[in-house]
Amino acid sequence: DGSSNIDCNVSVGTIFSVFEKEPWSEGDESDILRNGAACVCAGYCVYSSAVELVITFLGGAVHGFCLDPSIGEFVHTRPNMKIPSDGGKKIYSVNEGNSMYWDQAIKSSVHYFKNAIKPYSARYVGSMVADIHRTLLYGGIFMYPADGKSPSGKLRCLYEGIPMAMIIEQAGGVASTGYFQSKIQRILDLVPTSIHCRCPIVMGSKRDVQVVYDMYRKEMGIANVPMIGAE
């Protein structure tokens, strides 16, 4: 992840999801072209000033490990990682270079973040691993929505959307597609149609994803928009 940033020495990472082979299968694409309910493990590794591994198993907590090069082992440094329950720091992360292609709800959400009584800070690395790692630790929201240029979004469903959604949800956040395929839905409910298919991403704290949901209701008149609420 973030390979376009390698030459300028910006954080990059690796994202993975693990699916259990079906009992009758000999191991093929059908074992992984399933929704997030079939994902038994998800994680990522971020390569930066430190190398950190974040991992979760289905139904479990999210844990972080930091590589200690002096012993050549990953040390358990972040037990039971949680997105701050109050939403955490007011940070929004999105590629605003695509704003002319966004639907009105996304445009209005970003306008709200930038013009709130206490405006949000903009932080966008361009490596999903780095942006999600910050969101997991500090709070806020990360988005790569569907738009007029990329109607299915740009990030890969199977090995970016699903594993990161599993981590975010099990850390107490929300992982949504935004408005996609005529409805708002969880990323974990999507069934990948191919290994490299794409999906839109709206994920982060409950507080900030609710802002986006409210804009879908207000700006686009979409019914049955989820009410998330804060813990």
Instruction: Convert the pLDDT of each residue in 97-108 to its tens digit.
Output: 999 999 999 999
Residue 225 has φ and ψ, to the nearest 5°, of -75, 130
Specify the pLDDT at position 15.
96
Report how far residue 197's alpha carbon sits from residue 199's, in angstroms, rounded to the nearest whole number. Answer: 7
CB count within 10 Å of CB 123 equals 17
Radius of gyration of the chain measured on its C-alpha atoms: 17
Token code pair at residue 41: 């493990």
On average, the pLDDT of the chain sits at 93
pTM of the model: 0.93
Residue 115's contacts (CB-CB under 8 Å, 6 or more residues apart) are none
Task: Cite the DSSP H helix spans in 62-189.
Answer: 104-115, 128-138, 162-170
The pLDDT of residue 194 is: 95
* Alpha carbon distances (Å) from 57 to 40, 41, 54: 6, 4, 11
Which parts of the chain register pLDDT below 70? 2, 5, 8-9, 229-231
